[in-house]
């Protein structure tokens, strides 16, 4: 059997990306270990014990090569790790400004591009995992070239707090398909009090969200939580 290929570069796919970034998992569930698991719920199975951030159940099946997952996209992973930590350290509320300058200083533009590319990678892995006909070749070009994808936007959302419960949620891609092509799609990544709404639309088709999200090609870096 021919092994699957990395959807970014075409090499043998021998690496599975984390559905939930390990640092995000540890931030929300700091005490999880072999004796104190948390439980994952999915369509396939409920109450699956998770005993650490690197559990196989928290990873996509291999669809990337080691180089693309661990070297090429490392700056993207690191940028989101920094921004995620900054968000978790503040009182998150709708209308609040994202702490971009505080988190990244003079490298804010470059770092926020990397955040965009991080979620582009997750969206591509999710599409491959579940057979969603998104244009992942164009995702791969953007990641390899270090440029924003012009038709993928992020929105950052304040999630109502629950003092008794903290959750991590990785949603399914909600897609509108025309024939064998996805013309619009949305996907949610929720980390405690912060949600990231990832939206794609094909040129010439209506967007699925009423208000525009953020893209690195936009002027300025003023981004508010919704």
The residue written with tokens 């559905």 in the block is 19
pLDDT of 58-80, one tens digit each?
Answer: 999 999 999 999 999 999 999 99
pTM of the entire predicted model: 0.92
For the cut 50, the answer to whether the pLDDT of residue 28 exceeds it is yes
pLDDT band at 1 (very low <50, low <70, confident <90, very high): low
DSSP state of 149: -
pLDDT for res 208: 52
- Torsion angle defined by CA atoms of residues 182, 209, 122 and 5, in that order, rounded to the nearest 10 degrees: 10
Residue 217 has a pLDDT of 76
| Per-domain boundaries in the chain | 22-201
DSSP output for 10-74: -SB--B--BSS-HHHHHHH-TT-SSSS-EEE--SS-SSEEE-STT-GGGBPPS-B-HHIIIIITH
Q: How many CB atoms lie within 10 A of CB 74?
A: 12
Please state the rounded mean pLDDT for residues 138-158: 95
User: In which band, very low, low, confident or very high, does the pLDDT at 222 lie, cut at 50, 70 and 90?
Assistant: low
Are the CB atoms for 85 and 27 separated by under 8 Å?
yes
- Between 215 and 208, residue with greater pLDDT: 215
pLDDT at 164: 45
Distances (CA, A) of 98 to 5, 76, 121, 224: 37, 18, 22, 6
Share of the chain above pLDDT 70, in %: 92
**Separation between Cα atoms, residue 123 and residue 139, nearest integer Å:** 9
Q: Which of 114, 96, 102, 72 is nearest to 158 (CA)?
A: 96
Question: How crowded is residue 39: how many other Cβ atoms within 10 Å of its Cβ?
Answer: 10
Rounded Cα distance between 130 and 147, Å, is: 25
| Strongest mean pLDDT among 20-29, 85-94, 98-107, 158-167 | 20-29
Written as one string, the DSSP assignment of 203-224 is TTS--SSSS--B-TTSSS---B
């Amino acid at each position: 059997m021919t092994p699957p290929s990395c959807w970014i570069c075409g090499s043998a796919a021998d690496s599975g990306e984390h559905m939930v970034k390990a640092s995000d998992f540890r931030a929300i569930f700091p005490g999880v270990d072999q004796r104190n698991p948390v439980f994952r719920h999915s369509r396939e199975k409920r109450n699956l014990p998770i005993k650490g951030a690197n559990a196989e159940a928290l990873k996509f099946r291999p669809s990337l090569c080691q180089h693309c997952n661990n070297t090429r996209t490392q700056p993207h992973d690191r940028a989101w790790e920094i921004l995620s930590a900054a968000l978790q350290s503040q009182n998150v509320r709708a209308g609040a400004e994202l702490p971009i300058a505080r988190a990244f200083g003079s490298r804010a533009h470059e770092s926020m591009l990397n955040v965009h590319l991080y979620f582009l990678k997750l969206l591509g892995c999710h599409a491959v995992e579940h057979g969603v006909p998104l244009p992942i070749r164009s995702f791969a070009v953007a990641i390899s070239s270090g440029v924003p994808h012009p038709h993928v936007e992020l929105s950052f959302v304040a999630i109502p707090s629950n003092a008794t419960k903290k959750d991590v949620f990785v949603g399914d891609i909600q897609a509108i398909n025309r024939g064998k092509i996805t013309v619009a799609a949305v996907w949610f990544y929720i980390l405690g009090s912060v949600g990231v709404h990832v939206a794609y639309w094909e040129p010439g088709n209506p967007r699925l969200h009423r208000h525009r999200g953020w893209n690195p090609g936009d002027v300025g870096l003023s981004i508010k939580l919704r």
